[in-house]
Amino acid sequence: QSNYEDLQKIEGISLIAGNGEKNDILQQLIKIDFHDTVIRVKPAKYLKKYDNVPKNKSSSLHTRAWLKIQDGCNRFCTYCKVPYVRGPARSRTVEDVLEEVSNLNSNGVKELVLTGINLGTYGRNKDKGKTNLAKLISLISDFKGIKRIRLSSIELIDIDDELLNTFKNCSKFCHHLHIPLQSGDDKILNLMNRPYNTSIFYKKISLIKQVIPDIAITTDIMVGFPNEDSNSFSKTINFVRKICFAKIHVFKYSNRKECLAALLPNKVDNRVKKERSKRLQDLSIELFYDFQKKFLNSIADVLVEDEIKDKEGRIYSRGITDNYIKVIIPDFIGKKGEIVSVKLNQISSNYVISLV
């Protein structure tokens, strides 16, 4: 979308299509002359209508399906080029979303993961009426075959009282939220143009945990952002421990020429980025162990996804809890898509071992 001039220099490319044209690639290929490179890239700022993609083809072989309902972003964080390549925030129509949910429901999908570039803004663009994300979750929950509804990721500031009440009261909502933090230092958050500070973030996370005590909250953190010194990183480490995230996804900052952060001074050395990334990854392992430990000897509902066999030929069913703990059940062959109640017994390297 943003570097098509560079792609044009590569020999053998016949068609370059942007995000606004990807659904018409077949028709464009029929029309083009393969002796030249044809460019079909609409500037991202003109991508104001949600382009429906072909319907999800998930079959009864899958227990979980990803359903995209939103595209684009209006936030312009200084490190992120998404608004420049995906365009402004826009939402899929409720009718089209529910049509695909109906198809997935008929195909036996049990867990639905709602996705989008900026998921929490669903329904907020003017032409989509009053069906926001909270109301959409409620509508999807009416499909009897869909047993779980999960969100891929959501920004903290998009979780208002209505949405939090939906999380609490919808029996099908998975008790897992991925909420990006990016940094635990207010100086860095300000330079990133993030729409909160650590005080706001902590208060909202505390409220969410108060409403849903067993929730898993995972996050994204970027290391090595310009001006992130050792004091800034220490603040991030301390804040992560204070929040007690269940897991951290760590990213190392890299320059994007379209983004304002590329103009900032005091870039961080790659070696330092690597060291900080390793420290956070190690902390993530520690935090996830602690999170799982809280649920040992408790009863959990596990969605059976498949079977695995160990070196001795012993068969295990493998699945996941609604708060994203991966579980194996020894000597049990569960039906794919079945939800079974198990006792969580022991933490292994990759799974929690349980008994039916």
Which CATH number does the domain housing residue 347 bear? 2.40.50
Tens of pLDDT, residue by residue over 157-215, are 999 999 999 999 999 999 999 999 999 999 999 999 999 999 999 999 999 999 999 99
Q: Say if residue 221 is in the same domain as residue 73.
A: yes
Any idea which of 29-38, 84-93, 210-219 has the lowest mean pLDDT? 29-38
Q: 48 lies in a domain?
A: no
Of 56-65, 91-100, 179-188, 329-338, where does the model show the most confidence?
179-188
Report d(CA 349, CA 242) in Å as an integer: 25
Report d(CA 152, CA 154) in Å as an integer: 7
* Mean pLDDT score, 301-311: 90
Q: Say if residue 303 is in the same domain as residue 241.
A: no
Any idea which of 106-115, 124-133, 242-251, 322-331 has the lowest mean pLDDT? 124-133
Any idea which of 58-62, 107-111, 179-183, 282-286 has the lowest mean pLDDT? 58-62
Tens of pLDDT, residue by residue over 144-154, are 999 999 999 99
Q: What is the pLDDT of residue 22?
A: 60
Average pLDDT along the chain: 88
- At residue 38 the predicted structure's pLDDT band, cuts being 50, 70 and 90, is low
Q: Where are the beta strands (DSSP E) in 13-166?
A: 15-17, 38-40, 64-71, 90-91, 111-116, 148-151
Q: 49 lies in a domain?
A: no
Q: What is the pLDDT of residue 347?
A: 95
Q: Say if residue 229 is in the same domain as residue 308.
A: no
Q: Which residues contact 76 (CB under 8 A, 6 or more apart)?
A: 83, 193
Half-sphere exposure (Cβ direction) of 182: Cα atoms closer than 13 Å: 23
- As for how many domains the chain has, the answer is 3
Q: Say if residue 223 is in the same domain as residue 121.
A: yes
Q: 122 lies in a domain?
A: yes
**What is the extent of the structural domain holding 350?**
299-355
Torsion sign, CA atoms 79, 81, 84, 89: negative
Q: 182 lies in a domain?
A: yes
Q: Say if residue 18 is in the same domain as residue 155.
A: no
Q: Say if residue 9 is in the same domain as residue 66.
A: no
